[in-house]
Structure 1
Amino acid sequence: MLLMKDKRFISGRLKSFVYAFRGAYKLVVTEHSIMVQFIIAVLVTIAGFIFKISATEWMLQILAIGLVLGVEGLNTAIEKIADFIHPQYNERIGFIKDIAAGAVTFAALAALCVGLIIYIPKIF
C-alpha cells in the first residue's frame, strides 16, 4: 500500500512538471513581452560564454533571467485573469494591472543592473 502511494506521488509530480513546461511554452510562443525577454535571455547567455563569465556571475545572471521571466509570467497571468473577470475597461482592474506591470519593471531594472555589473568591466 505504501508503495502505491509513493508511485502516485511521483507520477503526480511528473504530471505537474508537464503542466509547468506546457505553461512556459505557451508563455514563450504567445506573449510578445515574454518573447522579447526570452530572446534577450538567450543573447545574454551567449554573451556569458563569449566573455567567459565566472561561476558566481553565471549564478547571478541565471537568477536575474529567472526573476524577470517569472515575474513577467505572473504579470501575464494577472492580466489574463483580470481581463476574464472584467473584459471592459475598469479603473480598479487597470490599477491592479499597472501594479503587476510595475513589479516586472523592478525585476527588469534589477536584471539590467546585474548585466551591467557583469559585462561593463569585460567590454571596457
Structure 2
Amino acid sequence: MNKEEGFIRNRLRSFKFAFAGAWALIRKEPSVQVQAGTGILVTLAGIYFEIDRIEWIFQILAMGLVLSAEGLNTAIEKISDFIHPEFHVKIGEIKDVSAGAVTFAALAALGVGIFIYAPRVAALFN
C-alpha cells in the first residue's frame, strides 16, 4: 500500500467512527433526539412551504449548529462525569456553560425559523 492509499483508508476509517458517534448520539441522548426530531419537522415544513434555496441553506446550517452544539455539550458532560463523578461546583459550572452554548445555538436556530416560517404561517390565516 502506498502513502496515498493509507491516507485515504485512514480518512474513510475516520468517517466510519464519526458516523458511529453521530448514530450513538441520536440513539442514546434524549436532547439530541429532540433536536433531531425538530430538524425532521422543520425539514417537512420546508418541503410543505416550498422554501427557497437560501432558506434551505440557513435552515440546514441552523440544524447543524444545534446538533453540533448538543454533541459537544454531551461530550463535555461525559468527560466531566468521568473526571469527577461526584458533585463538584466547578464541574457544575463547566456543564452550565456548555449547556449555555447549546442555548445560544438553539436561539439562533429559532431566529432563523421565525424569519423563514412566520410570514408563511401568517399567510395561512389571512
Q: Aligned partners of 1:115, 1:90: CA distance in 2, in Å?
A: 37
Structure 1 CA distance for aligned equivalents of residues 118 and 30 of structure 2 = 28
The aligned residue for residue 96 of structure 1 is: 94
In 2, Cα distance between equivalents of 1:87 and 1:114 = 37
Q: Which amino acid in structure 1 is aligned with residue 113 of structure 2? A: G
Distance in 1 (CA, whole Å) between partners of 2:21 and 2:87 is 27
Pairs within 5 Å for 1:1-124: 4-124=2-122
What one-letter code is carried by the residue in structure 1 that aligns with 2:11?
R
Amino acid corresponding to residue 51 of structure 1 in structure 2:
F
Give the Cα separation in 2 of the matches to 1:44 and 1:123.
Answer: 13
State the number of aligned residues: 122
Structure 2: 5+ residue runs without aligned partners?
A: none
Compute the displacement of 1:29 (Å).
0.4
**Could you say what secondary structure the match of 1:89 adopts?**
coil
Name the Cα RMSD after superposition.
0.7
| 4+ long deviations beyond 2 Å | none
Shift of 1:123: 1.1
TM-score normalised over the length of structure 1: 0.97
Q: Deviations over 1:54-95 (max 9, x none)?
A: 000000000000000000100000000000000000000000
